[in-house]
Structure 1
């Protein structure tokens, strides 16, 4: 496919791009036995320090075994959301923005670093997109270049014709730009707000709502 500057497809990250993760972390705070402010503050501290969210568990409960606790939680509450999400966690701008983009003939793909259960949750939402994949199914995680190569294959167009929308510079903006895509940083969630202030965010277009995308693209 020849390179082109015209955007023909948009690939979306999931957490804090499409999904508001607030309820997930509030449920974890209760599970951990700490106040919501304590755990959310720990998450913010980890974001500011360039650490992954897993470090927040260690900060508030040293030695805490997240996979073991998650497994125990699933046995206790097999039908609950636990660390998952559903359509109620979609940001309000998601459905109207996707509908507007689809109406303009853009190919829409959802692809992020998510566990296997997230795939079923996203597909159950009946979003107006062409493809939904996650790192568990693709077998590669961001920021690995292989993830963005797989995303481009799903989009079915040249990387130069793809806009990748995410909330982080390290996992989204920089690797998407390096892959030849047009990176768009959405300024929401702790990483989005922090990363929008970093020098490397200059490589991206910064937005505050997905509703900005139809006119932008």
Structure 2
């Protein structure tokens, strides 16, 4: 019997890619004119460096803050407006970028209705992320859904263990006091979310918002489809 649904956060509940792209361009526009062709190149470079440096953080090679610094320094140097050697200058650049991102973050339109439907069905709700706990807590609070989630588990809660490692999936189950078999995990990445959850003993669901993919795992294109995947007797433990 399924008793809880755990959500990935970025690009599952929160339009992270859209917001960070808008945030980056808004930040750059405060100091220089950004032509459409420049914008495409800047975004492609930023996404590339985000993957490199965030992966280094997940491997334990640097802190969450340091991966941001490294990304900012390399981005600015490659784009032709290098930052100075002072760490304070890099931190100020990152802080201004994050301010623009904070203004751009939004929930996907299907999030609140899905959370309401699941809560009405007495399904317990939680979130799990490979990102930094303080950052995700602040983001979810600002968007008004942190108090709807019984638990939030991030990789810095479990000594840097990150998806697809089964230990982080087991950590969120332990936080809820449930077995993996009683828990669904929903995320936008096929391998590190859905397949990794299944390998850890949970029910993994791939949220394929583009609808372009094909997979041998339970797949939805919007969160409102999630309820139809759950067994009819999905209830809160003890109810």
Task: Report the count of equivalent residues.
Answer: 195
Structure 1 residues without counterparts, runs of 5 or longer? 1-5
C-alpha RMSD of matched pairs (Å): 3.4
Per-residue CA deviation, residues 11-59 of structure 1 (Å, 9 max, x unaligned), is 1001100010212122224546763322444577x5xxxx926499868
Select the residue among 77, 80, 91 that pairs with 1:71.
91
Compute the displacement of 1:81 (Å). 2.4
Change in Cα spacing, 1:97 to 1:19, as seen in structure 2 (3 Å) is same
Tell me which residue corresponds to 1:211.
224
Q: Is the 8 A contact 1:108 1:131 kept in 2?
A: yes
Distance in 2, Cα, partners of 1:172 & 1:214: 18
Normalization by structure 2: what TM-score?
0.67
Q: Is the 8 A contact 2:211 2:221 kept in 1?
A: no
Compute the displacement of 1:163 (Å). 0.9
Normalization by structure 1: what TM-score?
0.73
Select the residue among 8, 21, 45 that pairs with 1:25.
21
Distance in 2, Cα, partners of 1:145 & 1:39: 35
Compute the displacement of 1:138 (Å). 3.6
Secondary structure of 2:225 counterpart: helix
Q: Is the 8 A contact 1:42 1:60 kept in 2?
A: no
Q: Does 1:37 align with 2:40?
A: yes
Structure with higher Rg: it is: 2
Change in Cα spacing, 1:54 to 1:11, as seen in structure 2 (3 Å) is same
Q: Does 1:97 align with 2:97?
A: no
Q: Does 1:119 align with 2:137?
A: yes
Compute the displacement of 1:123 (Å). 3.0
